[in-house]
Amino acid sequence: MRLKTLEISGFKSFADKTRIDFLPGMTGIVGPNGSGKSNISEAVRWVLGEQSAKSLRGSKMPDIIFAGSADRHPLNRAAVAITLDNTDHYLKSDYTELTISRALYRSGESNYQLNGQDCRLKDITELLMDSGMGQDSFSIISQGRVESIFNSKPEDRRNIIEEVAGVYKYRKHKEKAQRE
């Protein structure tokens, strides 16, 4: 599985539609302070289902929508699409290429799509669970996260180990079954 492309539009500083091709061998993104590097990694986390506005450096989710600049009006919609090469079927799907997209309007209305079909957040969460790419996973480590793992409670640390080992999903299914 490999990150192929990221398309961002109306998300944070990316007012215009911007496409980034992650060609093989690409290992980093560089740019001056404030040019949008962190916004790119936040776009990746957001499209994969991030629910915390705070962890995206905002106070409410619509803060991620382009807020305008000296010469541009604010926008009403933010959209991000990520395309993954899944020829190795690392993600449990028959598709060899997966495009996950998420859009949010200022009104609060939002939607997710998987390969162009409307879907629920739950479908995306299930697809990514135990892949190491889902919410709260460890493919994306933001500043302060390493410290928080060291300082976390034993139960939280256990969740981290279970997620890495791939058993977290089954414990969640079991807990749900027991509740029902």
Distances in Å between the Cα of 57 and the Cα atoms of 46, 60, 63, 82, 154 are: 12, 9, 9, 21, 27
Helices 168-179 + 154-165 axis angle, to 10: 110
Binder to ligand ATP among 3, 5, 22, 37 (CB under 6 A)?
37
Binding flag, residue 135, Mg ion (CB under 5 A): no
Q: Show the site string, 45-84: x = touches ligand ATP by CB under 6 A, - = not.
A: ------------------xxxxx-----------------
Nearest-approach distance from CB 103 to ligand ATP, in angstroms: 15
Q: Show the site string, 3-32: x = touches ligand ATP by CB under 6 A, - = not.
A: ---------xx-----------------x-
Interacting partner of 33 out of ligand ATP, Mg ion, none (Cβ under 5 to 8 A depending on kind): ligand ATP
* DSSP string covering 131-174: TT-STT-SSS--TTHHHHHHTS-HHHHHHHHHHHHT-HHHHHHH
Binder to ligand ATP among 6, 8, 39, 47 (CB under 6 A)?
39
For tokens 């990694």, what's the residue? 41
Length of the chain: 180
Binding site for ligand ATP (CB under 6 A): 12-13, 31, 33-39, 63-67
